[in-house]
Amino acid sequence: MRISTKFSDSIHLLSFISIFKTEKLTSEFIASSIKTSPVVVRRMIGELRLAGLISPYQGGKSPQLSRPPVDISLFDVYSAVEHKKPLFNIDKDTNPHCPVGAHVPDVLRSIYSEAEAAAFGQLGRTTLQDVIDRIQVAHQRYGEGTAEA
């Protein structure tokens, strides 16, 4: 399959609207930073609004976070756009009459969930504010770009 960058792009989007909250944020403008199309941006905003991370539409206003970036973890973002999609996939269609095939899916389920808990725990401990801070530190050290293309 084509690998999904939705999670990364969503973090990008949320950071962007937080950092540029004083500007007029059109989907076109946001799309220029992510290098994607405005429609894709609107689609992502729709999902994030549905998940409660972006405030419901309020008459022509720019999209804005529904709560401060310190209160949004990357696990919240992952859950919002990937719907808690497992990190590792289990082949559930195995031979139930074989002692190995019959039990592998369940065994993997429990083992994978331990590994996933470790990763998701780490994501849960990282907030959008951390991302924004790191972006701004990097910008002050190396960057001199503007918001424009």
Question: From the list 45, 65, 72, 128, which residue makes contact with DNA (rule: CB under 7 A)?
Answer: 45
User: How does DSSP classify residue 141?
Assistant: H
Q: How far is CA 128 from the centre of its chain?
A: 10
Distance in angstroms (rounded) separating the CA atoms of residues 41 and 33: 11
Q: Give whichever of 42 and 116 is closer to a copy of itself, judged by the CB atom.
A: 116
Q: How far is the CB of 101 from a copy of itself (least distance, A)?
A: 4
**Three-class secondary structure of residue 97 per DSSP:** coil
Tokens of 66: 């529904």
**CB within 8 Å of 23: residues ≥ 6 apart:** 29, 62, 147
Residue numbers at the binding site for DNA (CB under 7 A): 1-6, 9, 25-28, 35-40, 42-43, 45-46, 49, 57, 59-61, 63
Which residues of this protein are in contact with a copy of itself, per CB under 8 A?
Answer: 1-5, 7-9, 11-12, 15-16, 19-20, 32-35, 74, 87-91, 93-104, 106-108, 110-111, 114-116, 118-123, 126, 130-131, 134-136, 138-139, 142-143, 145-149
